[in-house]
Structure 1
Amino acid sequence: MDRLSLKAQEREILGKQVKKLRRDGFIPAHVFGKKIPTEHLSVKAHDFSRIFSQAGETGLIDLKIGDSKIRPVLVRDIQVDPVRGAILHIDFYQVNLTEKVKVSVPIRIVGEEPEAVQMGEAVVIQPLGEVEVEALPTELPDHLEVDISSLQQINDAISVSQMLVPVGVEVMTDLEAVVVKLDTAVSEEAQQLMEEQAAESAAAAEAAAPEEAPVEGEAEEAEGEATEGEGKPTPPDAA
């Protein structure tokens, strides 16, 4: 993958005041690394979204801080607002281009579907969606592929050890772990019946379970904690 560039600027705005940054279209960020002091930065939200859509968590990014500093980084962590889906904060990890790093890489299914799947007699299940790999930052793959066209019989499976891995990349995940497997298809009617039976069993078990009486004092303590928590100020945002 080609190196991507992202502009950033140093920031002195910290804590609760970063809300203004976000309103102005910026995302607060940190950059850190081995024996490197953490720096507080901000990046344009639009620019980051565009770059991250190409780089993901394994693509090397040249982070240009101001007019002089250029840091080779990987996106290590992204905090997202669970309600609005907006990015709240980014952690960039500065890498040494001569030292290997470990990252998680997604697995992509390729190849023609087995005949049994096309006939509706089987389904391909994927117990493993990603693997951990180790490589130099410049050799990290953005994904690994598993070809399902070799699956022919029910219970046929492909393990991590059978995947094609680029030269220079070492897989750290258990090599015997199953990536994909051909399993018997379950009709919609059978699936619905199993779900209904499971729900009925759970309801019956709940009805049969004796109701536990609260330990003396627990109810009062819980009520007191709830009352005590009311009116407390919301802690300031960390950045």
Structure 2
Amino acid sequence: MTTPPSPPTPPAPSDSRWHTVGIIVAAVITAAATVTAGLMGADSEKTESEAGRSVQATAPVESPTPAADPTPTPSVISTPPSTPPSTPPPTPTPTQPTVQAERPAPEWAGTWVGTATESNSDSTDSYRVRLELTGGAVSGDIGEVHYEMRDSRCQGDLTLLAVDPVSEALSLGEYIRTGNCVKGGRITLTPLSDGTLDFAYTGAKVDGSEQSVNAVLAKVR
């Protein structure tokens, strides 16, 4: 019997072939690792996304808080200041009555002369007026008055009615005793700054009309 011949032994692979195989295997491993990492990353992102949705789903939904109604500010009531206890007004001091001078100053005594002008008449009359003043008290005689006109003369008595304590003016009552003159009248004598006297007479004529006589008198003695 004849023995068949043994199959020929395959030749050993060369080194370059094994090098190529190594590169391919490394590439396959790298690709597998990359795919695995990508899958893991995707799973991680999916897990995180699902976790986020889960949190949103499980978180209690807060109902909107209604806006608070504005609290009305209480109006400020102004409290009037407390009124201090009223103090009774002081008791007024009784006003002392004005003391009227009882008599004119001594320098009034003497003879006073001037030219009088009568107003409120049909014509303006001018005539001489002479006063003879003496010392005297209120309500007493204080002298005489003389009116010297062209055709007649009149003489009367003077009574002191009042003395003004401020101006020192004298109020005199006149009563004509002789002559054709108005019987009664009133004379006011006011001292002037130059030492003269302002003479002012008022009276009523027989017909009821007013009579006014004015003069400035100078002291002659």
After TM superposition, the score normalised by the length of structure 2 is: 0.24
After TM superposition, the score normalised by the length of structure 1 is: 0.23
Q: Which has the higher contact order (CA 8 A, sep 6+)?
A: 1
Instruction: Tell me which structure has the larger Cα radius of gyration.
Output: 2
